[in-house]
Amino acid sequence: MPEVVRGSRLSVDAGQRTVDLDAPTSALHTGPSHQSRPSVDGHARSRKSVEFKDLERRRSERPEDRPPAQAYYDSRAATKREFKRRGTTLAEYYEQHPTLLPQLPFTWHHGWRRVKLGLLITLIFIDACLIPLILYYTMTFAGHVQGWIVFAVVATIWGGPTYLEFAVRSWRLIKKEDFYRPLGATSRWCFDFVSWLSVFSITAVTSLLIVGSAPHIVWLRVLSLPGPALLLSLGGGIMFVTILALLKKPAPFRISSTSKGEPVLPGVLYLIEDVVAVNANAGRPYREALHARYNASPRFRQMIMDQSLFWGIPAILIGSALIVVVCVHEVDKHIAYGLGWGIPFFWALIWAFLSVIWVKRALRKERIAWEEDNDGDLHDAKRLALEDQPLIHEQSPQTRHSGHSATSQVDAPPPSSGHDEDTQADAQIKKGPSTSTVPEEAKSDSKDIHVDREGNEAGLRR
């Protein structure tokens, strides 16, 4: 199988995600249509010319009706098949294209990964929050069941999905293949930040459940502390690495993709990286893209730091306050149980809702600012598409439809590293001026880019 250099494929429309190999083929470079992006001069655009409607989330639109993406994106980058056949990493690709905003190969708007991760989060929330509350109050006040029996049932059921998912993600990290491991990790026993955070959280909660339910007359106040313990574990882990990042201290040990001695990053970045890479099956490509985005975008770095403080500080404060309330004997123990189990998860729901609004707004501003700052230096693939459009009308119908071709909107995987001729052509185009016109002597040397039925490019020189 040929080696693949990601990102060098020339695509006219990045909004189309798939290529139908069984459909009738047509030329890749076709005339502009009502869905095509108009050819404009990048130097003439200003802040007022940015259309906010093109930057909004495209939830209700079909993939074939979506506008062109503003930067390189291919969701197949985060698959094992693409990971095994590629010849360069996403980090290297974005280093070669510094004007391109790194895109994350994961989305909440389509695909199986978002469904799997959403179901997992929902199941963990129901198991960790609702079941202990429902079982205790119904069995105690409606069924008049003794306390030790109630918590024998609660302790047996609680944490089942969490323990199972922890075992699955641990198995993925210790497998021989390194698709899920942190960047730079060579050992099979190198766990990530979320794994160690899960170990501390599971240990604390399990210990409290065992100690509180061991006596015949259960210690209800001790059994009310698992919720605050989870908050302290989460907030403490986030704030520990975030403080190291604020102080610009080197990592005392490996933290996910940060090796020992390297600068520490904010805590929320490690949470996002590990959960999506392992639990959502996005793997190392997502880790590479996330770190490339963090290194390239100042607005993204600021957003990650704000989110780390937004989650870390309140988690510690609320967890500490709940411990005081639960342990104060003036508060009824039945009420303390409801507060200890309900408030942490209710707070997490509110904070998650606020974070979604915050992050969407921040990412939108980031994209607008990035486009304005890098408007004069278009990506070679986009520039080639814009420069080739005036030549379309001069080609004969036989030339436009010759050979194997694909639809006019293609987002196919990049070509193999064996296509040196196409790569050299890309480099020559990048050196040229960023205009939408082509000199007359260059027209005779222009190429028609086609895509065969196996997803590979072929350059046909006239």
Q: What is the pLDDT along the chain (462 residues), one digit of tens a residue?
A: 333 344 433 333 333 333 343 433 333 333 333 333 444 444 444 443 444 444 444 444 555 555 554 444 455 667 777 777 777 788 888 888 888 888 888 777 666 777 788 888 888 888 888 889 999 999 989 888 888 888 888 888 888 888 888 999 999 999 888 889 999 888 888 889 999 999 999 999 999 999 998 888 889 999 999 999 999 999 999 999 999 999 999 999 999 999 999 999 999 999 999 999 998 888 898 999 999 999 999 999 999 999 999 999 999 999 999 999 998 888 899 999 999 999 999 999 999 999 999 999 999 999 998 988 876 444 444 444 444 444 333 333 333 333 333 333 333 344 334 334 443 444 443 344 333 343 444 444 444 434 443 344 433 333
Contact 405, 25 (CB under 8 A): yes
* Prediction pTM value: 0.65
Torsion on CA atoms 228, 234, 240, 241, rounded to nearest 10: -170
Q: CA angle, corner 276, sides to 271 and 280, nearest 5?
A: 140
Torsion sign (Cα): 297, 302, 306, 312: positive
Residue ranges with strand state E in 70-207: none
As given in the structure block, the two tokens for residue 171 are: 């198995």
H or E element, residue 451 = strand 447-451
Q: Half-sphere exposure of 348 toward its Cβ, with a 13 Å CA cutoff?
A: 20
> What is the number of other CB atoms lying within 10 angstroms of the CB of residue 264?
22
Question: Please, what's the largest Cα pairwise distance for the chain?
Answer: 92
